[in-house]
């Protein structure tokens, strides 16, 4: 699946197969307790049921949107 915009986490919009992506999560300010949207700063994978970190453990925050990773950088072959 290719996309260049954020995709909300709705049942019919989840990744069709396992792969890595960037996610936006509900985060919480530890001092005020106020919740806010934040980009999760680590690799996240979707296994068809849950969002997991690079070690396969579920991430501790609620994912609200996702976007596929871009293609890796490739040096110009010219």
Residues 23-68: tens digit of each pLDDT:
989 887 777 878 888 888 888 888 888 899 888 899 888 899 999 8
Residues 1-30: tens digit of each pLDDT:
455 789 999 888 887 777 788 898 988 777
Domain ranges of the chain: 18-65
- pLDDT at position 21, please? 86
What's the gap between Cα 68 and its chain centre? 8
- pLDDT at position 3, please? 55
Going by C-beta distance under 8 Å and a sequence separation of 6 or more, which residues neighbour residue 12? none
């Amino acid at each position: 699946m290719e996309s260049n915009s954020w995709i909300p986490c709705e049942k019919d919009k989840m990744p069709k197969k396992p792969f890595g992506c960037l996610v936006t999560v509900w985060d919480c300010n530890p001092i005020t307790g106020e919740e806010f949207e934040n980009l999760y700063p680590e690799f996240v994978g979707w296994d068809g049921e849950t969002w997991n970190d690079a070690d396969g453990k579920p991430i501790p925050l609620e994912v609200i949107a996702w976007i596929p990773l871009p293609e890796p950088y490739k040096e110009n072959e010219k």
